[in-house]
Amino acid sequence: MRMLTSGDEDIRIAAEAIKAGRLAAFPTETVYGLGGDAFNVSALARIFEAKRRPRFDPLIVHIADLSTLDMAADIRSLSPSLRAKLDVLCRELWPGPLTLALPKQPSVPDLATSGLPTVAVRFPSHPVAQKLIRYSTGVIAAPSANPFGYLSPTKAGHVQEQLGERVDFIIDGGRAGIGVESTVLDLTEDPARILRPGGTSREAIEAVIGHVEMGFPPTRDAPQAALHSPGQLASHYAPKAPLFLHDAGAMSHLPFCPGEAYLFFDEETRGAWSMRNARNAGGDERIFTLTHDADKGTADKTLEAAANLFDTLYIIDNIKPSAIHAQKSPDIGLGVAINDRLTRAAAKRN
Ligand code: AMP
Ligand code: MG
């Protein structure tokens, strides 16, 4: 594995590697991706191998130009109404943290879609991701660059720590700004359906295409042939330590147990908890807060919390607590995605 900078020459080195069927991890605005040529079956196989990812879990393919959407998706087969929704989503929300499940082109390998008739496509806004895609093959398959089921990486160091020699190159582009994965929207049914909440809020989507349906109940067992959306596995995005999820009221009433870690959404709840436990706020290496700016509105706090979520869970995992207590986010904006990830992290215990 070789660490690269986000300079143009280094991006070209990674792009050449991808063209040759190798893998490069790269920054996006959501989390770091593990990229390979979406049309090269052996590159796809290497992605699954590097992540120890089951084959029923399909990949998101990334484009950096609307004119290449056709290479992956058969948009002419969409109904006129869905076609109109696709156009407005592309215009208003791409590039950005939104993945669209669309009818697939026959040329997209089944390995990329786990045999589904749909392909998930995203146009990331991160300039390094865009360059890498343009300099290589135009369509890059890239799941999050972490071992299957574990926390998603928001820094190059996370990728190095988790995948090491299983990846050929890592482009270091600093912190991923949004910090949770893209929202996956199924655009093959009308109304469209959010299969996985993520970096684009439901509110933002509904503002441009009107009502959307929301999700499926999480399934504990890996379904038969292919999942509609892998983020739907009940246990996913999980740290090593068992995680317990609490709403703000319950969190502020928890007794302090040495050896356990505490992850608060806001300073207010942390303050109330510290008072009850007669602890001074701050100074304890096992106590964390996702938001620090008390003056922010709730929706903006969820943006701050999402950006800090996985990085903070990495830090907590590295101090090896016997358990993690995490406070739920308010259920608006990116809070829906945060709670989705924490719920799946908590499901690992069962
Ligand atoms: P990850 O690669 O770990 O970021 O996760 C990939 C995500 O892509 C999954 O969580 C799914 O939600 C989504 N996905 C990929 N392909 C499809 C598809 N054809 N239909 C629906 N969702 C998909
Ligand atoms: Mg992932």
Residue at 270 is within a domain: yes
CB burial of residue 282 (10 Å; 0-12, 13-18, 19+): exposed
**Mind listing the pLDDT tens digit for each residue in 101-142?**
999 999 999 999 999 999 999 999 999 999 999 999 999 999
Q: Is the pLDDT of residue 276 over 60?
A: yes
Distance CA 113, CA 133 (A): 19
**C-alpha 123 – ligand 1 centre gap (Å):** 14
Distance CA 263, CA 326 (A): 5
**Residue whose CA lies nearest to ligand 1 atom number 1:** 143
Contact yes or no for 126/171 (Cβ under 8 A): no
Distance CA 334, CA 300 (A): 9
Distance CA 337, CA 48 (A): 24
**CATH code of the domain covering residue 322:** 3.40.50
Same-domain check for residues 77 and 169: yes
pLDDT of residue 224: 40
pLDDT of residue 284: 81
Residue at 237 is within a domain: no
> Quick check: CB of 61 below 6 Å from ligand 1?
no
Same-domain check for residues 207 and 128: yes
Same-domain check for residues 178 and 270: no
Distance of CA 99 to the CA centre of its chain: 11
Most confident residue range from 92-106, 219-233, 268-282: 92-106
Distance CA 299, CA 49 (A): 38
Q: Is the pLDDT of residue 345 over 90?
A: yes
Same-domain check for residues 205 and 261: no
Contact yes or no for 60/141 (Cβ under 8 A): yes
Same-domain check for residues 207 and 281: no
Residue at 181 is within a domain: yes
Residue at 72 is within a domain: yes
**C-alpha 148 – ligand 2 centre gap (Å):** 7
pLDDT of residue 223: 43
Rg of the chain in Å (alpha carbons): 20
CB burial of residue 19 (10 Å; 0-12, 13-18, 19+): middle
**Mind listing the pLDDT tens digit for each residue in 32-83?**
999 999 999 999 999 999 999 998 899 999 999 999 999 999 999 999 999 9
Peptide bond into 103 cis (omega under 30): no
Same-domain check for residues 208 and 294: no
Q: Which atom of ligand 1 is nearest to the CA of 142?
A: 2
Same-domain check for residues 254 and 208: no
Same-domain check for residues 166 and 281: no
Closest CA to 261 of 318, 307, 303: 318
Peptide bond into 95 cis (omega under 30): yes
**C-alpha 269 – ligand 1 centre gap (Å):** 34
Mean pLDDT of 292-297: 92
Q: How many domains does the chain have?
A: 2
Residue at 184 is within a domain: yes
Q: Which atom of ligand 1 is nearest to the CA of 231?
A: 10
**Mind listing the pLDDT tens digit for each residue in 144-186?**
999 999 999 999 999 999 999 999 999 999 999 999 999 999 9
Give the CA distances from residue 228 to residues 35, 156, 196, 205, in Å, rounded to whole numbers and listed in that order. 21, 29, 10, 20
pLDDT of residue 221: 43
pLDDT of residue 216: 64
Mean pLDDT of 1-17: 98
**CATH code of the domain covering residue 95:** 3.90.870.10
Residue at 48 is within a domain: yes
Residue at 221 is within a domain: no
Mean pLDDT of 27-32: 98
Q: Which of 214, 229, 263 is the last residue of a domain?
A: 214
Closest CA to 237 of 118, 149, 142: 149
Same-domain check for residues 199 and 301: no
Give the CA distances from residue 322 to residues 133, 239, 317, in Å, rounded to whole numbers and listed in that order. 41, 12, 10
In the sheet that holds 323-327, the strands lie side by side as: 243-246, 323-327, 260-264, 287-289
- Indicate the pTM of the whole model: 0.93
> What's the mean per-residue pLDDT of the chain?
93
> Quick check: CB of 149 below 6 Å from ligand 1?
no
Residue at 124 is within a domain: yes
> Quick check: CB of 108 below 6 Å from ligand 1?
no
Same-domain check for residues 74 and 184: yes
Same-domain check for residues 137 and 286: no
**C-alpha 126 – ligand 1 centre gap (Å):** 19
User: Residue 187 phi/psi, 5° resolution?
Assistant: -105, 25
> Quick check: CB of 183 below 6 Å from ligand 1?
no
Same-domain check for residues 114 and 40: yes
The residue range of the domain holding 68 is 2-214
